[in-house]
Each structure stands twice: as C-alpha cells, then as structure tokens.
Amino acid sequence: MMLGTLIMATAPTTAVLGPAAALVILVARLIQGFSASGEFGTATAFLIENAPDRKAFYGSWQVVTRSA
C-alpha cells in the first residue's frame, strides 16, 4: 500500500510525461488494490479466530466495514 501511495505522490504530471502519466497512476492504483485484497483474508481469519463467541458475527464486520 505504501509503495502505491508513494508512486502516486511522486508521479509526474501530464504536462511533464504526457499521456503516460495516466499509466503511472493506473499502476500505482493496481499496486494498492492488490495490497488491500491480500490483506482482506488474513484480517477476516484473525477476527474469526479471536472471537470469543458468535464467530460469524465478528467475521462479518470485516465485510461490512470494507470500503468499495
């Protein structure tokens, strides 16, 4: 996630790079997306394994609070 954000923060503008600047931003967003989706399953497993009871209820909060 940090790498994708760093790329976006330091990406050149279209005035400097032209249309390829949009590709740089696209790659940065893809890196962020892969990083977030890789974290989703392990976070859900952590919630379920550490729930005292009603494991499905606690695990569902990961899905409910996920931003689209």
Instruction: From residue 26, give the alpha-carbon distance in Å to each of 2, 34, 66.
Output: 15, 12, 21
d(CA 26, CA 10): 14
Each residue of 2-57: pLDDT tens digit?
899 999 999 999 999 999 999 999 999 999 888 877 777 888 888 889 889 988 88
For residue 44, being part of any structural domain is answered with yes
For residue 52, being part of any structural domain is answered with yes
Q: Which domain holds residue 60?
A: 2-9+19-64
List of residues 6+ apart from 25 with CB closer than 8 A: 8, 11
For residue 14, being part of any structural domain is answered with no
How many domains in the chain? 1
Place of tokens 């400097």: 16
